[in-house]
Amino acid sequence: MPVEPETEVLLSRTEIAAAIDRLAAEVRRDYLGKCPLLVGILKGSFVFMADLVRRLDFPLEIDFVRLSSYGPGTESSGQVRVVQGLRSPVRGREVLVIEDIVDTGLTDSYFLEYLRKRRPASLRLCSLLDKPARRRFPVKIDYLGFSIPDRFVVGYGLDLDEKYRNLSDVCVLVEG
Ligand code: IMP
């Protein structure tokens, strides 16, 4: 087995759970009775999405897209690819995009524009994490869990070369 880098907890599962309670209350306040379409961006958002929707006690629908702006490693390739598109119609729907992390903003600025062209009734973004120091493309985050420093994070759905998604905490990699 190859040796993986060590990890250190940046945000514990307890802190994450408290943030998701808060986010769920905000989303509930804004979408109760509106049957929103929650669109998760795969793969990174799958854990966050699963925890968030189980705190939402009103009718809603779920879909997923797979977009890719990263090749192997930790740097963005600068291009967004739609690997798997939406199956649900968006026109006239209250659409809430669920993201794991907004980094340069490339992926979300692209995808929000892609959705906007399809004429939803409303369009908002909910992200667990934000790395504002890295922003190159402006993105409005309507519901945010945490703003974090410019470190590469893994766990709670986030990966490095497909590893670490299964960690329950958001962690940083320890160098060396
Ligand atoms: P952006 O297009 O640069 O904003 O990057 C968005 C995507 O890059 C996220 O949805 C993640 O999949 C990935 N990403 C950005 N930063 C990190 C990180 O620190 N750890 C793991 N994935 C990241």
Is residue 60 over pLDDT 90?
Answer: yes
For ligand 1, mutation pick of 101, 102, 107, 130 (most atoms within 8 Å of CB): 101
Ligand 1, residue 67: give the atom nearest the CA: 10
pLDDT at 64: 96
Confidence of residue 82 (pLDDT cuts 50, 70, 90): confident
Catalytic residue among 51, 103, 108, 169: 103
pLDDT at 169: 98
pLDDT at 4: 72
CA distances from 120 to 55, 94, 146 (A): 24, 6, 27
pLDDT tens per residue, range 43-52: 999 999 999 9
Confidence of residue 74 (pLDDT cuts 50, 70, 90): low
pLDDT at 75: 57
Reduced DSSP (H G I as helix, E B as strand, rest coil) percent helix, strand, coil of the chain, to 5:
25, 35, 40
Q: What are phi and psi of 116, to 5 degrees?
A: -55, -40
Tokens describing residue 119 = 């004429």
pLDDT at 26: 98
pLDDT tens per residue, range 87-144: 889 999 999 999 999 999 999 999 999 999 999 999 999 999 999 999 999 999 999 9
DSSP state of 162: T
pLDDT at 163: 95
- The CB-side HSE value for 97 (13 A sphere, CA atoms) comes to 32
CB 76 within 8 A of CB 103: yes
pLDDT at 14: 98
pLDDT at 154: 98
pLDDT tens per residue, range 18-45: 999 999 999 999 999 999 999 999 999 9
> Which has the closest alpha carbon to 155: 126, 128, 125?
128
Tokens describing residue 117 = 């062209």
Ligand 1, residue 152: give the atom nearest the CA: 19
